[in-house]
């Protein structure tokens, strides 16, 4: 990157690789040669670039902070072992690019936080990363939530997609044998 800098006596061409860098505290009047009346006072490029680099680093650090999630992300490699190890699990099959999935995500996360106390895990499977696994599980639309009671028992979630409904439905499933005829089913019928 080369800048044309008008000094006290003559025009000087400086670059970042120059062995005569401009002092950090100096300001120079910079002009575009074909427009001599359009001159501005500028500090050396390095000051601005370092400032931009610092701002970009801070912005990146803020967006990549680790947020503790109450939902558990599973893949095809971890799914079966996790389901087998737990008596009752609600699984959300989703895609990060799906608008309905994005709308459900904060509600599902909040429900997972509330159900964590009752040891009812809410898990999620990203069908964009494990497309073949979702096909093998007969997932035909997204988001699709299913209740698992071990690997043998699997039924679709039949409640609303709100935090309160998810919590009530899963507490009802927790207190019943999984027939779907508990308090939540009676209240919504």
Q: Hey, which residues are catalytic here?
A: 98, 101
Q: Would you tell me the crossing angle of helices 99-115 and 163-175 to the nearest 10 degrees?
A: 50
Q: Which helix (H) or strand (E) holds 103?
A: helix 99-115
Residue 115: is it exposed, middle or buried by C-beta count within 10 angstroms (0-12/13-18/19+)? buried
Angle in degrees, CA 179, 119, 133, rounded to 5: 70
173 contacts 122 by C-beta, under 8 angstroms: no
Contact between 79 and 129 (Cβ < 8 Å): no
């Amino acid at each position: 990157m080369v800048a044309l800098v008008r000094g006290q006596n003559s025009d000087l061409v400086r670059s970042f690789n120059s062995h005569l860098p401009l002092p950090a505290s100096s300001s120079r009047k910079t002009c575009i040669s074909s427009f001599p009346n359009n001159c501005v006072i500028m500090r050396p490029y390095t000051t601005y670039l370092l400032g931009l680099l610092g701002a970009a680093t801070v912005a990146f650090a803020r967006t990549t902070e680790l947020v503790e999630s109450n939902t558990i992300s599973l893949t095809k490699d971890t799914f079966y072992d996790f389901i087998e190890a737990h008596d009752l699990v609600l699984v959300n099959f989703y895609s990060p690019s799906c608008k309905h999935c994005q709308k459900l995500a904060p509600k599902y996360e909040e429900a997972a936080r509330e159900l964590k106390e009752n040891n009812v895990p809410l898990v999620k499977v990203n069908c964009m990363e494990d497309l073949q696994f979702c096909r093998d599980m007969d997932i035909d639309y997204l988001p699709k939530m299913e209740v698992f009671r071990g690997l043998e028992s699997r039924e679709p979630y039949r409640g609303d997609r709100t935090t309160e409904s998810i919590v009530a439905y899963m507490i009802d499933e927790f207190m019943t044998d999984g027939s779907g005829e508990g308090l939540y089913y009676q209240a919504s019928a």
